[in-house]
Chains A and B, each alone.
Chain A
Amino acid sequence: MTIESKYGVPTVALHTDKFDRVVHSVAATNGMGRLRQVFVPQPVMGKSARELRAYVDGNDPLTGRQVMLEVVEGLTRPFDDGDLGPAEFDRSTPRLVEPDTEENLHRLFLDNHWTDCLPIVLPSEERVAAMLAGTRRKPNEIVGRMRPTHFREAWEYTVEKVAVNAVMAGARPEYFPVILALAATGVSARGSTTSSMAAMAVVNGPVRHELGMNAGTGALAPYNHANATIGRAYGLLSQNLQGGSVPGLTYMGSQGNNYAYNSVTFAENEERSPWEPFHVQHGFRRTDSAVSVFTGCRSTAFTLGLRERHWREHVGNMLRGMDPHTPPTLLLDPITARQFIDRGGFLKMDALIDWLYDTARMPAGEYWDYQLVQNYIYPRATFGEEPWASKLKAAPDELIPMFRREDIHVVVVGGETNGYWRIMGCTYQKTVSVDEWR
């Protein structure tokens, strides 16, 4: 769109037909509703040159017209007045929904894609007022902006709007500062990506105990009210405050992701961790309360403990089982955290991360052939961006690091009923203060 609107070059955009609604919607909300767009069948990925030539010679599956006729026309047929539309228009969001019965409102919220398809608490004025009492911030204060994907416009939201979604999730007012902090990250837990992302939220500091959050047995499971509803609120506020998360329009995750129901939200088990808490590793004090957000959560690896003889190989196998585009965050039960010290001598977290970085290697030829590496890393490498440009010089059978060291993280969580642990493939985004939102 930039080349057409900013540089004045007549342009046709090509897409696969599955993206019909989303690309028309993105163009319209970017003020380019009449952008010339042509569609070919899905998929392009993995098709041979001959098969793709048939796409070129064939018809646009949405219009039934020849693809190349539409392309040539798109560059040469003048716009008429009907193509140009209004110069600008406002879109507003009313504060209140038209009064109705509870039954009808529940149906309306479901039909409007305002829920996660589970029952919600209707956000009455009384309930929202009670939620707002959980912070000293003013209801009309702007908290942030969010969008489901890079191409879409960011929507803005206030403290009151976040409170509405917190009520819907069933959260209690005392949880509200954590929920506001999550909203303030601007990181969506409902990304539109076809890869079906989910978010992960890790809470640190005194607020964990104040809210009775679970960092022990079953911390990642549906057994704690604060963990469950804070995480659910993060998902609901993301989909509603960013302007939707509707399959085919503002959500394109091909398979979807069950982690999205509560965004893998838990507290770190700081008391049983042998290392500094996660937020302290990221510039906060132990006495601060903070929440850290990660995105991805598509790939996981799992095992029990660290065996004396082959633990290095076992961990290496787990790391190589992850897609190399998304870095690893180890979620260690305290038993296994201490085993990493006993087996490997990693008294400092830095030493463990150094070892993980060095262990996660694969032949360069295999690494560069991963589709996501081709899509997102190879282009950056070819234009000289480090560390990938150096990796590109490796021979095909040379073992190269799969991840950047700074992208590897470790969080301690679990109740020590056993030493099970997992690797979550996810990208650390940021850590934000909860205290600022009290």
Chain B
Amino acid sequence: MKAKITVLNPAGFPPKVTRKELAPRLPTLEGKTVYLVDCRFDDSDVFLKQMQAWFAEHMPGVRTIFKPISSVYLNDDPATWEEIKARGDAAIVGVGH
């Protein structure tokens, strides 16, 4: 029988995961303002404008605002988030790829 040996685990130490609260959902989108947030990644703007057109055709009671983030997706963008919080009801962010 081959001898067993003891070795050390090479993985680092992950941080504790703490659950973050998710925002309550809306009862309806009718009459609400939805921001389409462009993360400025590889033609995401083209995609979100098509989604904006879909809302205009299928859910005209939803007001949509196309909003590119203020810089690159690697940076936090509090100005944009504050604007959406103040003037919007929901957000669709994309397209991550």
* Chain A residues packing against B (C-beta within 8 Å): 1-16, 18-19, 23, 28-35, 40, 42-49, 52-53, 55-57, 68, 71-72, 75-79, 83-97, 99-103, 105, 109, 114, 122-125, 128, 146, 150, 153-158, 160-161, 164-165, 168, 194, 236, 240-244, 371, 374-376, 378-380, 383, 385
Contacts and interface: CB of A to CB of B under 8 A. Distances in A.
B49 to A, nearest CB: 7
B24 A88 contact: no
B6 to A, nearest CB: 5
A101 B19 contact: no
Contacts of B17: 28-31, 88-91
Given A2-B81, A19-B96, 14 more contacts: A7-B85, A9-B81, A13-B93, A15-B96, A16-B95, A32-B20, A33-B19, A43-B42, A76-B25, A99-B4, A109-B10, A157-B13, A194-B97, A241-B11
Interface string B1-35: 01111111111111111111111111111000010
Given A52-B46, A101-B2, A7 B8 contact: no
B93 A30 contact: no
Contact of B5 (A99, A156, A376): A99
Contact of B92 (A12, A23, A32, A157): A12
Contact of B71 (A52, A99, A168, A379): A379
B21 to A, nearest CB: 6
Contacts of A156: 12-13, 15
B-side binding surface: helix, strand, loop or mixed? Answer: loop
12 contacts: A8-B85, A9-B81, A11-B90, A13-B96, A14-B93, A14-B96, A43-B97, A77-B25, A91-B14, A91-B17, A164-B10, A379-B68
Given A96-B6, A97-B6, A240 B12 contact: yes
B15 A155 contact: yes
A383 to B, nearest CB: 5
A97 B11 CA distance: 11
Nearest to A87: B19
A86 B18 CA distance: 9
Contacts of A14: 47, 92-96
Interface of B: 2-29, 34, 37, 40-44, 46-47, 49-51, 53-54, 58-59, 68-72, 74, 76, 81-82, 84-85, 88-97
A124 B7 contact: yes
A22 to B, nearest CB: 9
Contact of A236 (B10, B26, B54, B93): B10
B18 A125 contact: no
Contacts of B76: 2
Contacts of A29: 14, 17
Contact of B12 (A3, A34, A157): A157
Contact of B95 (A44, A68, A79, A100): A44
Nearest to B15: A153
B46 A49 contact: yes
Contacts of B19: 31-33, 84-88
B46 A11 contact: no
B8 A75 contact: no
Contacts of A35: 22
A100 B97 contact: no
B86 to A, nearest CB: 10
A101 B5 contact: yes
A155 B90 CA distance: 32
Contacts of A100: 4-5
A164 B8 contact: yes
Contacts of B96: 13-16, 19, 23
B33 to A, nearest CB: 11
B81 A6 contact: yes
B23 A243 contact: no
A375 B42 contact: yes
Contacts of A55: 47, 50
Closest 7 CB pairs of A and B: A14-B94, A45-B42, A241-B12, A16-B97, A155-B12, A5-B20, A15-B96
B5 to A, nearest CB: 6
A95 B8 contact: yes
Contact of B97 (A28, A44, A161): A44
Contacts of A85: 19
Residue of B17, B27, B46 with most partner-chain A CB within 10 A: B17
Contacts of A385: 71
Contacts of B94: 13-15
A93 to B, nearest CB: 5
A90 B15 CA distance: 8
Contacts of B88: 9
Most chain A CB neighbours (cut-off 10 Å) among B18, B22, B29, B68: B22
A40 B54 CA distance: 15
